[in-house]
């Protein structure tokens, strides 16, 4: 009834070893590769602007809508929020983006981190408004964070990097696939480096190549945050990750990571749903409903 979550090939779950399946890498100490950029801090209103676009992937007749939100003062107006409020990850809660965003007074919000669809556990690193909610133990997946001094961080982090208190993370969330690094598509390298167990839409190559609804976050040359969301349906419409990366690059994004997508991909303005989700409603299969998801990115007044 959901936007397809594909089973692993031949019934081999993520825990069974398989010749082609790498073990996930846990890096406890030292520096793993990432990029940093000073965030913009424009004092003037508004804190953010949001625009709608229509996908224009060459050769495709099934077009969908998407949203780009530009955040002018990320350090003061962007938060990673747990599902349903503080403590949501610990309680293995899921909540719609509308619920979490409405309660927190977000002007704009979109889904963020991946979760285990059976246990509802939030996956990866989560730092929310200066509170370390959980760390992933150094698992290698694409990260987005903001440090206390406003530095934007995109890429891979060791557990030590995540826990470092000299200039601590005030916001941090994990995605899957580093889409753009220094203005270049970084998907080939991500396919080799990243843990495949953080997402449930088939193997990592399929996950990257399939068209679907997508959510991403990046930054431009001025250090503004760029939030990206595009509607879709896994295997039918939307964008694959190569197309998302090209689209972001064309629009001036320098570093970007992919966040939870598919039926989780959701965009909310002023507490109201502003995207077309792909999951069918539990109550009536004819209609589409927003999925209850894990963490969100919330743009709020300063
Ligand atoms: C979405 C994701 C899936 C993930 C699940 C829970 C895509 C295309 O949400 O990988 O496991 O986080 O991003 N699908 O269905």
| Ligand 1 centre distance from Cα of residue 5 (Å) | 7
| Residue 190 confidence class, pLDDT cut points 50, 70, 90 | very high
pLDDT, averaged across the chain: 92
Question: In a 3-state reduction of DSSP, which class is residue 197?
Answer: helix
Residue 215 CA: nearest ligand 1 atom is 13
The first and second tokens of residue 164, run together, are: 């470092």
> What is the phi-psi region of residue 87: left when phi exceeds 0, alpha when psi lies from -120 to 50, beta otherwise?
left
pLDDT tens for 52-74 read: 999 976 666 689 999 999 999 99
- Other Cβ atoms closer than 10 A to 121: 14
Which amino acid residue places its CA nearest to atom 13 of ligand 1? 261
pLDDT at 45: 65
| Residue 22 confidence class, pLDDT cut points 50, 70, 90 | low
> In angstroms, rounded to a whole number, what is the distance separating the alpha carbons of residues 260 and 258?
7
Q: Who has greater pLDDT, 116 or 22?
A: 116
Residue 2 CA: nearest ligand 1 atom is 15
Of 207, 223, 226, nearest to 67 by C-alpha is: 226
pLDDT tens for 76-131 read: 999 999 999 999 999 999 999 999 999 999 999 999 999 999 999 999 999 999 99
Could you tell me the sign of the dihedral formed by the alpha carbons of 23, 28, 33, 35, in that order? positive
ipTM, two decimals, is 0.92
| Residue 4 confidence class, pLDDT cut points 50, 70, 90 | low
Residue 5 CA: nearest ligand 1 atom is 15
pLDDT at residue 149 above 70? yes
Ligand 1 pocket mutation pick from 112, 116, 117 by most atoms within 8 angstroms of CB = 117
pLDDT at 31: 86
Residue 258 CA: nearest ligand 1 atom is 13
- Tell me the DSSP string of 104-121: HT-SEEEE-S-B-TTT--
Bond from prior residue into 301 cis (ω within 30 degrees of 0): no
Question: In a 3-state reduction of DSSP, which class is residue 38?
Answer: strand
The share of the chain scoring above pLDDT 90, in percent, equals 87
pLDDT at residue 206 above 90? yes
Residue 123 CA: nearest ligand 1 atom is 12
pLDDT at 109: 98
Q: Classify residue 102 by burial, with Cβ atoms within 10 Å: 0-12, 13-18, 19+.
A: middle
Ligand 1: which residues within 6 Å by Cβ?
3, 5, 114-115, 117, 199-201, 212, 234, 260-264
> What is the phi-psi region of residue 115: left when phi exceeds 0, alpha when psi lies from -120 to 50, beta otherwise?
beta
Could you tell me the sign of the dihedral formed by the alpha carbons of 250, 253, 256, 261, in that order? negative
Distances in whole angstroms, Cα of residue 283 to Cα of each of 1, 48, 172, 286, 288: 11, 35, 34, 9, 10
Average pLDDT over residues 243-252: 97
Average pLDDT over residues 131-150: 98
pLDDT at 61: 65
Of 14-23, 181-190, 291-300, least confident by mean pLDDT is 14-23
Per the DSSP assignment, residues forming a β-bridge with 244 are none
| Ligand 1 centre distance from Cα of residue 292 (Å) | 12
Question: In a 3-state reduction of DSSP, which class is residue 5?
Answer: coil
Q: Classify residue 13 by burial, with Cβ atoms within 10 Å: 0-12, 13-18, 19+.
A: exposed
> In angstroms, rounded to a whole number, what is the distance separating the alpha carbons of residues 52 and 68?
7
Distance of CA 236 to the CA centre of its chain: 21
| Ligand 1 centre distance from Cα of residue 176 (Å) | 10
pTM: 0.93
């Amino acid at each position: 009834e959901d936007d397809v979550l594909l089973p692993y090939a031949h019934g081999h779950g993520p825990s069974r070893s398989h010749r082609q399946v790498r073990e996930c890498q846990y890096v406890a100490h030292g520096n793993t590769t990432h990029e940093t950029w000073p965030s913009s801090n424009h004092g003037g209103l508004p804190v953010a602007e949001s625009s709608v676009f229509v996908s224009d992937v060459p050769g495709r007749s099934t077009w969908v809508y998407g949203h780009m939100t530009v955040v002018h003062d990320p350090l003061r107006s962007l938060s990673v929020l747990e599902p349903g409020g503080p403590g949501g990850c610990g309680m293995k809660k899921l909540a719609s983006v509308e619920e979490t965003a409405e309660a927190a007074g977000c002007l704009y919000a979109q889904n963020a981190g991946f979760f285990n669809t059976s246990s509802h556990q939030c996956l990866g690193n989560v730092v929310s408004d200066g509170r370390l909610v959980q760390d992933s133990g150094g698992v290698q997946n694409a990260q987005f964070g903001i440090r206390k001094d406003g530095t934007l961080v995109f890429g891979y982090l060791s557990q030590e990097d995540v826990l470092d208190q000299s200039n601590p993370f005030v916001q941090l969330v994990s995605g899957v696939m580093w889409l753009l690094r220094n203005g270049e598509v970084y998907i080939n390298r991500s396919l080799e480096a990243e843990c495949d167990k953080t997402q449930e839409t088939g193997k990592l190559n399929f996950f990257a190549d399939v068209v679907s609804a997508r959510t991403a976050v990046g930054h431009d040359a001025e250090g503004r945050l760029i939030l990206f969301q595009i509607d879709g349906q896994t295997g039918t419409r939307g964008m694959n990750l190569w197309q998302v990366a090209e689209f972001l690059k064309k629009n001036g994004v320098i570093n970007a990571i992919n966040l939870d997508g598919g039926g989780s991909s959701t965009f909310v303005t002023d507490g109201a749903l502003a995207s077309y989700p792909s999951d069918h409603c539990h109550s009536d299969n004819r209609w589409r409903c927003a999925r209850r998801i894990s963490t969100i990115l919330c743009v709020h007044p300063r």
